[in-house]
Structure 1
Amino acid sequence: MPTLLSWFCQAIFLVVVVYFALYVLLELRVFLISRKVERRKLTELAHSADEADIERWPSVSVLLPIYNESEVVERLIDAACRLRYPSQLLEILVLDDSSDGTTELARRKVEHYAAQDFDIRLLRRRDRKGYKAGNLVNGIQQSRGEFFAIFDADFVPPDNFLLKTVPCFRDPKLGFLQTGIGYENRDVSFLTRFQAMEMGHQQYVTVGLSEDGDMASLSGSSCVWRKVCVDALGGWNASTVTEDVDLGYRAQFGDWKYAYLRDVVSMSVLPETISAYRIQRERWGRGLIHSAFKHLKQMLLQRMPLMKRMHAISVMFSSVLLASIYVLILLSLPLMYLVHFDSVGMQWGALAFFSLVALWGMENAFAARRGARFNSKPNALKALWDTYRYIAMFLPMAWYYFVGGVRALLGVHGDFHRTPKGKDGYRAIVPRINSVLLAGEIFTFLYSALAVWVGFQHGNYFLIPLDVTVCVGFGMVIYWSWQERQAHKRV
């Protein structure tokens, strides 16, 4: 029985390593394409985006879905009303699902701009059926634009956003367009810097995916959709909490093209509390994993070249890969007991895993800094330590995605919690899932510390670097949880 269990653990370990290797090699290919685009600076779409002189400007509806966003709703409406575009072709719809004072703030702003002849309306529903997806569907049903520009409550687009993006839609097959995102509060703490870098990395590799014509997973804010495309796809689907990713997948499988303009940047705000961050990432993981399996059959039946199919699998199931890393963490302790890593296969497997982590870490950190536009050059030791902490933070994120994946398998698709941004955390009622995730963090930290001790006791040193890094990553989030708790006590 121990031998059978040993072989089982080794098999899972090697499967994860192979899966990770495929992902790293594909991402490295896209990274090199992004580097080539960066050196060239201009792509065909970037050229067209600079040409604001077009024969006929189409009508555009700016959709602003909000829910209890009292701290940012006024500046959002101000930014939308600053957008430069022919006034007779632009309407702004504030889609308000709020249950607090946000509604009154939004109403006053809307009335202020309506008195200045802006075409702006406040739309409210009787209930929050379908959450954000339902809110957007309700908005487009009352809109008149040929295109939809969508901004979440914490976004501030540049005033030339529409002048830069709308000309790209000369191509009738271009269904939607994503732009770059910057973060106002990225330097508040290491947590915000990590988020800015992690999402900056995604933006950087999306440049390569777009250039190569590969499938991408795009955000649902700071984007523009063609109405004909949205109508053809049946609109946003409320069956998933990542309705933006779901619609993007359906568009790409429906042979609609997408474009990515990294140099058109809207500013946003990151969550600054660890509770807000962990709840947001569990929701993202749940929605992304649900969307991946939901569209798996359609992706496999889609006719596409092998390399593009490989990239589609890599993009769609990257969240599953991250969740599987947590499985590797759980396997580290039994592997310490059951395997002495004296077999050639396990030695090469462990060596390959850590080599891939090093390669991925260097590529990811470089792309993350470029994508997040970090231009400062810290000293070598600080850069090395920050890169190590950056990599370590993916391990708690693996736990959040693991929980999200389990909940998705259990059919929990609609449990939606708004992510408070900035210093605004969950001041009153913290969602229950936060306590589950925190308990898992404490367990994983102790579990990995035990695995380190067992590794030294048994002379099994191969997985100790992984478990030490787990302790660093989970130790940081536990410490931030303690800090947040102390701050709440002071308040």
Structure 2
Amino acid sequence: MNTLTTLFSYFAQVVFLAVVIYFAIYVVLELRVLLISRQVEKRKLTELARTTAPVEDNFHPSVSVLLPICNESAVVQRLIDAVCRLQYPAQFMEILVLDDSSDHTSKLAQARVNHFAQQGVNIRLIRRNKRKHFKAGNLLNGIQESSGEFFAIFDADFVPPEDFLLRTMPYFKDPALGFLQTGIDYENRDVSFLTRFQAMEMGHQQYVTVGLSEDGNMASLSGSSCVWRKTCVEALGGWNATTATEDVDLGYRAQFGHWKYAYLPDVISMSMLPESISAFRTQRERWGRGLIHSAFKHALEMFQQSMPLMKRLHAISMMFSAPLLASIYVLILLSLPLSFIVNLENANFQWIALIFFGLVAIWALNNVLGARQSTRIDGKACIFHISWDGYRYVCIFLPMAWYYFAGGVRALLGIRGEFHRTPKGHDEHPASAPLITRVLMTGEIFTFFYSLLTMLVACQHGNYFLVPMNFTVCVGFGMTLFWSWQEKRKHA
């Protein structure tokens, strides 16, 4: 090999090794958190995970329930109906429907608002002249119109339990508690494997959050089915419109500002998942773009915080999990040149590859088991079914690595605040998909054939150690392309 080829060979191997090392640290830390979560599940005695909170007649602070919506005709009526059923003293609760819609959603929402207002419910619909700064701008406008000491926020596809406020507000007797997150379940999780995958992934993340909150570590929390203290939001300057994940950004800033958070997994709101692959692509690219941007944006601030070593490691692991996933796509891209120029049969690379595949197996198994525990999936499934679910679970993470990689590149190019709403359930049609969805699908086609070529080259050169990874890539991307074909045929 010439000098340039040799340098690239070493570079590729160093990158591969670096990703494996970081992935190993991530897996070990996650296993620690999952162990804590299982201990919490066994005893059910932690302060933040009690099944019920005491209902105290003398503590009913004023609450503004904020409902940011935009073209949500399929779900807006049930959202308003559910929120109007919330059990809380009427004189201390107001409901603000923050409507950014450009379709007939506004008429549907206004009709329900009028219906409940006539019954004496303190509810208003608020519209802006321009949809500036998307959801973040909508929320900022909403809090200017609000009067409550606290903000309870629900996205359009959520249905909170009737006792949501009665079970959450008593925790805010602690003046240092800035925000509170509750559990989420999904009513359409069994529609397809795509929805089951999402429910499992979200369930796993919620199970991890139980351990993080119990151990006092940083966590990345959702922006829906949550409650914020008004003084906390004001002290932080509100939601930031320059990022696609304004909820995560605000949560980081709150934790760096030494506000406490609470996580209540047993207070569960129902939600809906994207059922089409086009909606899933759009959502995950946006999440990847926002999470990667937020990680690097707040990295210096995180390192300036005074933390014990273990808490800092967990903070790094949590904040940089999105860049880690995006880096997996870099390994996919490196697999072809590695198969050409590197003897993968040497002992050093064999060990690296075996460690990587072993870590993936451990991580997948714990993901599946954690998800089954969190989402109360029937635990009587046979080991074959769990293993098959685990393998397909891993397969879908590889297209997600591409979505996050694309999102990270776009964030690097300055495209950070762009927001496309995610259609949920049956409220989906590929004709309305933004350009980025078609770009992502083109990348899927490229990656599928790229990995297929890599396997052929690897077999020709006798470099078999990366073939399992490339085979799994082909399965994962093949699944998403098959779903795309089904979706196109359905709407043809």
TM over 0.5: yes
The CA distance in 2 between the partners of 1:428 and 1:465, in whole Å, is 36
With 49-58 and 104-113 compared, the bigger mean Cα shift is at 49-58
Aligned partner of 1:250 among 248, 253, 273: 253
Partner of 1:216: 219
Q: Which moved more, 1:379-388 or 1:112-121?
A: 379-388
Aligned equivalent of 1:373? 376
Correspondence list, 1:221-240, <5 A? 221-240=224-243
The reply on whether 1:88 has 2:91 as its aligned counterpart is: yes
Q: Which residue of 2 aligns with 1:122?
A: 125
1:38 aligned partner: 41
Aligned residues of 1:48 and 1:167 also touching (Cα < 8 A): no
* Paired residues of 1:176 and 1:226 also in contact (CA < 8 A): yes
What is the identity, as a one-letter code, of the residue corresponding to 1:361? A
Match of 2:139 among 133, 136, 140: 136
Q: Show the 5 A alignment for 1:345-356.
A: 345-356=348-359
Q: Is the 8 A contact 1:49 1:167 kept in 2?
A: no
- Map residues 194-343 of structure 1 onto 2, 5 A cutoff: 194-343=197-346
Q: 1:427 Cα deviation (Å)?
A: 4.7
The total of aligned residue pairs comes to 489
- Match of 2:491, SS state, is helix
Q: 2:336 is aligned with what amino acid?
A: L
Spell out the pairing of 1:456-467 with structure 2 (5 A cutoff): 456-467=459-470
Question: What is the SS of the residue equivalent to 1:148?
Answer: strand
Is residue 365–residue 387 contact of structure 2 (8 Å, CA) maintained in 1?
no
Q: 2:362 is matched with which residue?
A: 359
CA offsets per residue over residues 180-212 of structure 1, 9 Å max, x none?
A: 000010000000000000111100000000000
Distance in structure 2 (CA, Å) of the matches to 1:89 and 1:437: 47
Are 2:291 and 2:322, in contact at CA under 8 Å, matched by a contact in 1? yes
Letter in 2 for 1:475: G
TM-score (norm. length: structure 1):
0.98
Paired with 2:330 and 2:257, the residues of 1 have a C-alpha distance of: 34
Given the two structures, how large is their TM-score scaled by the length of structure 2? Answer: 0.98
Unaligned stretches of 5+ residues in structure 1: none
Q: Is residue 2:458 matched to residue 1:431?
A: no
- In structure 2, C-alpha distance between the alignment counterparts of 1:296 and 1:471, rounded to whole Å: 34
State the partner residue of 2:403. Answer: 400
1:187 pairs with 2:190: yes
Offset at residue 428 of structure 1 (A): 3.7
Letter in 2 for 1:481: S
Contact 2:336–2:454 (CA under 8 A) maintained in structure 1 = yes
Q: CA RMSD in A?
A: 1.1
Match of 2:159 among 142, 147, 156: 156
| Superposed displacement of residue 485, structure 1 | 0.5
Which of 65, 79, 100 in structure 1 is aligned with 2:82? Answer: 79
Q: Which amino acid aligns with 1:173?
A: A
1:8-35 superposed Cα distances (whole Å, 9 cap, x missing partner): 1111110110111111111111010001
The one-character-per-residue Cα deviations of 1:132-175 (angstroms, maximum 9, x if unpaired) are 00000111111111111000000000000001100111111110
Q: How far apart are 1:290 and its partner, in Å?
A: 0.6
Q: Does 1:422 align with 2:425?
A: yes
Deviation at 1:345, TM superposition (A): 2.5
Shift of 1:222: 0.2
Three-state SS of the structure 2 residue aligned to 1:393 is helix
Q: Separation in 1 of the partners of 2:442 and 2:486?
A: 16
Output the CA distance in 1 between the equivalents of 2:297 and 2:52.
34
Q: 1:187 is matched by which residue type in structure 2?
A: D
**Which letter does structure 2 place at the counterpart of 1:148?**
F
For 1:13, which of 11, 16, 27 is the aligned residue? 16
Percent identical: 69
Q: Distance in 2 between matches of 1:106 and 1:392?
A: 40
Matched, 1:412 2:412: no
1:356-376 Cα offsets, whole Å, 9 max, x none, are 111111111111122222125
